[in-house]
Structure 1
């Protein structure tokens, strides 16, 4: 039986859940396909301001891909290319999502689960969470396209530990190596994620989207054009900018509308 991607929206916040609890939320081919579709659909909803990704239950965010289906889904180069194109589309959907994205991580965040978390803007985990990609013990390498976000996030030295040694990192070490944003007590993970969502939603939603675009653009080794610099002042034409300044001067909380 395949796992599934569940989601629900509560006001301005969407929560996407990787659901395959019998296999510690291992991501199968159906889930990869659904993840791309769900995230793309939510990304197009202008009413939303934040997206949270989590695994079902307390044991795992996702313990990797579903190894059981590899014998049929990755048995030839053609099948493997198709399988990883599907996974790559899901990862790209998360990475390209214009909404701020938060990975709420409990338990195991391994292999494909770590790849998904790496595509998020923020990663908040509990003290007992663990991270790794010990696929050297399974005899296969990480697909190059899927390595990109992890390499950008943690750097080559950490990737060498994860891939050459197959090390599993605890939460504190993952934090020190840049794999996660914040570590809290296990029982406080959901509350900390909720507080993070609240802080994001208190800000201007257009500004959050623009900041995501600018951060990605500035990671490219190319100078900004004059037009790009001019475009960075697009906020001057928004009602939210006028509201933000007026609220500051009036010493009240702003009421942003995303326009």
Structure 2
């Protein structure tokens, strides 16, 4: 999905590997290396980390919508030439893995909801990136996979941890151990994708999902993400956050707005207060 459109208010940026475009409360982050299938470089990771922090701090942003430039790939993963460089040491590899883990960890822990819109190839680090989002939708002809084992590697940007949490350990091991490519329909069946959309309506549907999410209650969304994140490793901790958040949300203007809108059979206008 190339996110260019006439009704978007483009936000100028100084980034070399990314573009940010704003449409009301939706901030579209476009990985902008189409000739390289939007492969991920250390420079892209650095810029993406800055983008995540900047947009999360913007109270006017209600949803991040991730996509790849061009019509061939969301992201084909890490830039292979950098990995195969004879000058890269074991220490360099560890640091690269940690950088990717930390950047995608920022995305995972971001209080702002994140939607990944996959159109085309989504492999390796690109799939790890999509896994760190909250919702994933894709065109019917998109392709997914974790091919690292075919290179004698393993997913190093969180894939061994987040993918099992998302779709179960057995499915995750199948995808990682085989290194096979999977269709969008298969990934939807596995629970990885929330929606599969025809290509001719994909851009519109992706924006509709992002706009719906962006219109949600910011405080409730933030606490929901935090409770779910804590509960992955410790159910009791997740339940404790859930309970405290529930009580705090009862004393917000958003709750009053939600109740009033429900009683009047109207759509609520949440403000995050």
Counterpart in the other structure of 1:165: 178
1:223–1:245 Cα change, 3 Å: same
Counterpart in the other structure of 1:233: 247
Counterpart in the other structure of 1:42: 55
Counterpart in the other structure of 2:17: 4
- TM-score (norm. length: structure 2): 0.88
Tell me, in whole angstroms, the C-alpha distance in 2 between the residues paired with 1:59 and 1:106.
7
- TM-score (norm. length: structure 1): 0.92
Structure 1 residue 227, shift from structure 2 partner: 7.7
**1:33 and 1:87 in contact (8 A); partners too:** no
Tell me, in whole angstroms, the C-alpha distance in 1 between the residues paired with 2:228 and 2:181.
29
Confirm or deny that 1:16 pairs with 2:39.
no
Confirm or deny that 1:130 pairs with 2:130.
no
Confirm or deny that 1:243 pairs with 2:235.
no
| Alignment RMSD | 2.0
Structure 1 residue 226, shift from structure 2 partner: 6.3
Q: How does 1:187-226 map to 2 (within 5 A)?
A: 187-224=200-237
**1:3 and 1:20 in contact (8 A); partners too:** no
* CA-to-aligned-CA distance 1:184-232 (integer Å, 9 cap, x gap): 1112221211121222233222222122122223333342576862442
Counterpart in the other structure of 1:121: 134
1:223–1:74 Cα change, 3 Å: farther
1:144–1:113 Cα change, 3 Å: closer
* 3-state SS, counterpart of residue 180 of structure 1: coil
1:250–1:93 Cα change, 3 Å: same
Confirm or deny that 1:55 pairs with 2:68.
yes
Structure 1 residue 135, shift from structure 2 partner: 1.9
1:133–1:180 Cα change, 3 Å: same
Report which stretch shifted further, 242-251 or 94-103: 242-251
Residue 253 of structure 1, aligned match among 267, 270, 273: 267
**1:130 and 1:170 in contact (8 A); partners too:** yes
Counterpart in the other structure of 2:78: 65
**1:74 and 1:83 in contact (8 A); partners too:** no
Tell me, in whole angstroms, the C-alpha distance in 1 between the residues paired with 2:218 and 2:60.
10
Tell me, in whole angstroms, the C-alpha distance in 2 between the residues paired with 1:94 and 1:20.
20
* 3-state SS, counterpart of residue 116 of structure 2: strand
Structure 1 residue 144, shift from structure 2 partner: 7.3
**1:3 and 1:25 in contact (8 A); partners too:** no
* 3-state SS, counterpart of residue 28 of structure 2: strand
Structure 1 residue 71, shift from structure 2 partner: 3.1
5+ residue gaps, structure 2, are 1-14
1:133–1:200 Cα change, 3 Å: same
* 3-state SS, counterpart of residue 81 of structure 2: helix
Confirm or deny that 1:186 pairs with 2:199.
yes
Tell me, in whole angstroms, the C-alpha distance in 2 between the residues paired with 1:144 and 1:246.
44
Residue 75 of structure 1, aligned match among 80, 88, 91: 88
Tell me, in whole angstroms, the C-alpha distance in 2 between the residues paired with 1:241 and 1:52.
26
Tell me, in whole angstroms, the C-alpha distance in 1 between the residues paired with 2:246 and 2:158.
30
